[in-house]
Amino acid sequence: MKYLFLISLYLIQSSLNVAATGTIGTEFVLSFPNIKLNNDHYKIFCSNDNYDYASIVVKWWSLKDKETKTDNFTITPLGYNEYIFDKTEVVFTSYSGYAEVIYIPENRITISSNIPIRVVANFYSFDPIFNNIHLVPSIESLGKNYMIQLPEPDVDQFQLIQLLPLEIDTKIELTHYVNGVLLVKSDLVLQSAFGSEQLTLVRQQSNLTVNSSFLIESDQPIAVVAAVTCKIISYNCIYLSFMPQALPSYANGMVDSKIFSLTDYTSIVTLLPRGEASINIVGANGYEITQSMPDHINTPYNYQFTLSDEVEYLINLPNVSVTASRHFTDKFGSTFSYYFSGSCITNLLPVSGFITGRHLIPLTGDQKYLEIYTDLKNMYNIILDYKYIYYWNPHVKNLLSTDFEYVALLVDLTQFQDPTILLYSSGRYMAYFFNIWNGRLGCYEIGYNN
């Protein structure tokens, strides 16, 4: 089949509209939850999808000097910049507790821009080797309710969930479930004044609380950063961190949710639906798994499933609001023959969260690739680095589980020499970036809409 595209490079460049993506914005808040290490480093990547200069202001509370500090930098049009933090100023490392909420010194880092940008957080270490990258959603895309489940940490290691208020003091109800059964509920208040003590949920590994999940309900939007300080993957200690997507709003009632993904790397998917629900999972070979939520649970309940050798799956959740995450490891093979070990977590976005427009992606790491999902009709409308995507020889997988309505495209990004690439489509799509640095896997979702 031949496709004729009568469009010039100039017209392609001039028509790449700015992204319609909730996680891109002008205000951000984040933190770096971790324990004490000797050779660890923390930074952010800020990318500018616009044709104007971006002026950035970074603010943090210095743990060393006990005062507010600020710094600023600029980002060129269609460019990116990185900012490296002094870990002694922004990373608190003394934790203890078995599913307890503790006070810690101010840990919020805020980022402001005069025009919309994207922010990605990066923690890396040379000894031991760690590599973690995750999307920092804009304040506009944050929510009031979150449901979180993390991989189980190694012995004497921690799950850390940091609760970050914005500009208003915030009341929070935190509920801890074990195997879907309520364990304890706590009422908390987050102080918004910069320099105030903040709250972190600390869960040291314990066999008594394996399969813990946490429901966070607040009266104001907040940011949440969730981390595992060490999980053993293929005999290596791996650090995991991400900022979970807020639970969808229930103001307009429940909606049907549809989530699908390839299983390259994917080890475990965690689904967090609201209330009684029936989860239907369809594999590429037509097998189905149906899992009903227990009748006695009328709050968000987590469901984890470990993937088989299926190359793809579709998750149907009729009339239910849901957030989901997927845990990548080297357990399953990849389309690209990169050697790596390690693990990473991303939000797993439903079709309703798909994005449009242009997205500038920094090409960090030694090897990297891009995973894109879109409907079949939009596949040939995706532009990468000012050329239609088929020019870059993507691996194309028609998703049988969706009755061929959607496709997955995997692009090897090592063929690009520039420090960034520009991804664009006027249609809806979802993209995930993967990199390998010093043999360790990192990943994040490019963006999403709530």
Tell whether the model's pLDDT for residue 367 goes beyond 80. Answer: yes
The per-residue DSSP string of 167-209 comes to SS-EEEEEEEEETTEEEEEEEEEE--STT--EEEEEEE--GGG
Confidence of residue 321 (pLDDT cuts 50, 70, 90): low
pLDDT at 319: 54
Whether the predicted pLDDT of 8 surpasses 90: no
What are 410-440's pLDDT values in tens digits? 999 999 989 999 999 999 999 999 998 988 8
**Is the pLDDT assigned to residue 2 strictly greater than 50?**
no
**Average pLDDT of the segment spanning 234-251:** 83
CA distance 336 to 50: 32
Rounded-to-10 torsion of CA 377, 381, 382, 388: 130
- Model pLDDT for residues 231-241, shown as the tens digit of each residue: 988 788 999 99
Model confidence pLDDT, tens digit, residues 253-277: 555 566 766 555 555 666 665 555 5
pLDDT band at 101 (very low <50, low <70, confident <90, very high): very high
Mean of per-residue pLDDT scores for the chain: 83
Give the other-Cβ count within 10 Å of 97's Cβ: 14
pLDDT of 9 reads 32
**Predicted confidence band of residue 295 (pLDDT cuts 50, 70, 90):** very low
Q: Give dist(CA 127, CA 231) in Å, integer.
A: 16
Q: What mean pLDDT is predicted for residues 302-320?
A: 59
Residue 322 has pLDDT above 50, yes or no: yes
Identify the residue whose tokens are 């439903």.
350
Average pLDDT over residues 99-126: 96
**pLDDT digit string (tens) for 202-214?**
999 999 998 898 9
In 63-180, the DSSP E strands lie at 67-75, 80-85, 98-104, 109-126, 129-136, 143-148, 158-164, 170-178
What are the sequence ranges of the domains in the chain? 15-445
**Which band of pLDDT confidence, cut at 50, 70 and 90, is reported for residue 49?**
very high
Closest CA to 372 of 314, 327, 432: 432
Residue recorded with tokens 């005062």: 67
Q: Residue 372: is its pLDDT beyond 80?
A: yes
What pLDDT band is residue 298 in, cutting at 50, 70 and 90? very low
* pLDDT at residue 348 is higher than 80: yes
* 247's tokens: 């639970």
Higher confidence at residue 178 or residue 292? 178
Reported as a single tens digit per residue, the pLDDT across 281-291 is 665 555 555 55
> pLDDT, tens digit, for every residue of 145-186?
998 888 899 999 999 999 999 999 999 999 998 887 888 999
Predicted confidence at residue 206, as pLDDT, reads: 93
Q: What is the CA radius of gyration of the chain?
A: 21
Query: What percentage of the chain reaches a pLDDT higher than 70?
Result: 76
* Confidence band for 402, pLDDT divided at 50, 70 and 90: confident
DSSP one-letter string for 45-80: EEE--SSS-EEEEEEEEETTTTEEEEEEEEE-TT-E
CA angle 268, 274, 277 (to 5 degrees): 80
Higher pLDDT, 40 or 296: 40
